């Protein structure tokens, strides 16, 4: 065997050994990465806050567990809320709070839901309903020394689309009618048009006769208004009619006066507190 062939075989052997070592090293590294515990993320809870007649806030709490010996920085969170297969809100937020090595942490995402946008996109949804929705969140980041990380999550929740209860003055029973002391009992019908119970905490109201405010007060006795059911509140009032004059008093006596009542209903619902304005004319 010539010297030239010997050198050739030596080079080939070296290359073969190097390739074997490289493959073994790569395989070992892959095995190590496969064996390592992976970070996990889950939507811990979905809660509602700041509910009013225009929008509400869905608070998404995400728990992230980091088993690595390095922190996980700069998390990106893509979210979407869906109902009936329709995305009615989506977006992306970034968190610069690092998940420390071998620790867990909770990240909160507040998502404001506009009812006008929801009703426009999901046209089968109506005010007063409670809709089931799916929350989809994908966490993505780049872990130093490990590489890109992507964790999808999913959880279901419920969202109310509140509707103002129907409030009407059914009748006014007048007692004494005079300039110095006029009293009556107002019969106020309240119908809950929502698909959930509305509990009255307080009712603030103003009562007017012929466009003139004559009495305002509040009711603080708790009441429960069930779905699609009417209750009648009997509200006693008493006032001095001196400034109204005899003309208004005669209209009251002859049952020709026009009445109106407006105010707000502070309510508690299964989804949180809501304030409903109301107005009624008779």
Residue that is last in its domain, among 113, 136, 160: 160
Looking at residue 36, what is its pLDDT? 66
**Using one digit for the tens of pLDDT, what is the confidence trace for 217-267?**
999 999 999 999 999 999 999 988 887 777 778 888 888 888 999 999 999
**Using one digit for the tens of pLDDT, what is the confidence trace for 180-209?**
888 999 999 999 999 999 999 999 999 999
| Residue 34: inside a domain | no
Looking at residue 238, what is its pLDDT? 92
| Residue 35: inside a domain | no
CA–CA dist 260, 216 (Å, integer): 12
**Using one digit for the tens of pLDDT, what is the confidence trace for 112-150?**
999 999 999 998 999 999 999 999 999 999 888 888 989
Looking at residue 37, what is its pLDDT? 81
Residue that is last in its domain, among 115, 139, 160: 160
Looking at residue 143, what is its pLDDT? 86
CA–CA dist 249, 239 (Å, integer): 12
Give the chain's domain count.
2
Looking at residue 35, what is its pLDDT? 58
Both 271 and 173 in a single domain? yes
Looking at residue 242, what is its pLDDT? 81
More confident residue, 54 or 27: 54
Looking at residue 212, what is its pLDDT? 86
pLDDT exceeds cutoff 50 at 3? no
Short-list 156, 144, 154, 160, CA closest to 78: 154
Mean pLDDT, the chain, whole residue set: 86
Mean pLDDT of 70-80: 91
**Using one digit for the tens of pLDDT, what is the confidence trace for 92-114?**
999 888 899 999 999 999 999 99
Burial classification of residue 229, based on how many CB atoms lie within 10 Å of its CB (0-12 exposed, 13-18 middle, 19 or more buried)? exposed
In this prediction the pTM is: 0.79
Looking at residue 255, what is its pLDDT? 80
Both 51 and 82 in a single domain? yes
Both 106 and 152 in a single domain? yes
Mean pLDDT of 5-14: 39
**Using one digit for the tens of pLDDT, what is the confidence trace for 38-67?**
899 999 999 998 899 999 999 999 999 999
Both 45 and 156 in a single domain? yes
Domain that holds residue 79: 40-160
**What's the CATH code of the domain at 137?**
2.60.40.1820
Cα–Cα distances (Å) from 140 to 69, 150, 152, in that order, read: 18, 4, 9
pLDDT exceeds cutoff 70 at 32? no
Structure tokens at 227: 């779905």
Residue 198's SS3 state is strand
Both 154 and 171 in a single domain? no
Both 180 and 261 in a single domain? yes
Both 141 and 239 in a single domain? no
More confident residue, 211 or 56: 56
Both 189 and 249 in a single domain? yes
| Residue 63: inside a domain | yes
């Amino acid at each position: 065997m010539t010297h030239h062939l010997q050198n050739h075989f030596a080079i080939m052997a070296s290359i073969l050994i190097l390739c074997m070592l490289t493959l073994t090293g790569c395989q070992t590294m892959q095995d190590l990465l496969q064996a390592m515990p992976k970070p996990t993320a889950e939507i811990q809870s979905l809660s509602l806050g700041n509910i009013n007649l225009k929008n509400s806030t869905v608070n998404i709490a995400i728990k992230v567990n980091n088993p690595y010996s390095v922190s996980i920085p700069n998390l990106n969170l893509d979210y979407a809320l869906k109902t009936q297969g329709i995305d009615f809100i989506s977006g992306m937020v970034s968190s610069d709070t690092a998940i420390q090595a071998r620790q867990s942490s909770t990240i909160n995402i507040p998502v404001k839901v506009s009812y006008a946008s929801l009703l426009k996109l999901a046209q089968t949804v109506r005010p007063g309903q409670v809709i089931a929705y799916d929350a989809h969140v994908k966490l993505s980041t780049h872990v130093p020394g490990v590489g890109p990380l992507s964790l999808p999550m999913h959880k279901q929740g419920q969202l109310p689309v509140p509707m103002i209860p129907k409030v009407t003055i059914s009748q006014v029973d007048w007692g004494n009618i005079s300039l110095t002391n006029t009293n009556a009992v107002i019969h106020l019908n309240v119908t809950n048009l929502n698909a959930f119970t509305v509990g009255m905490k307080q009712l603030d109201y103003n009562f007017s006769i012929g466009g003139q405010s004559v009495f305002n007060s509040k009711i603080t006795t708790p009441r429960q208004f069930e779905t699609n059911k009417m209750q009648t509140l009997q509200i006693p009032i008493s006032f001095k009619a001196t400034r109204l004059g005899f003309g208004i008093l005669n209209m009251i006596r002859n049952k020709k006066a026009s009445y109106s009542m407006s105010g707000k209903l502070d309510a508690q619902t299964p989804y949180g507190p809501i304030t409903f304005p109301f107005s009624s004319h008779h």
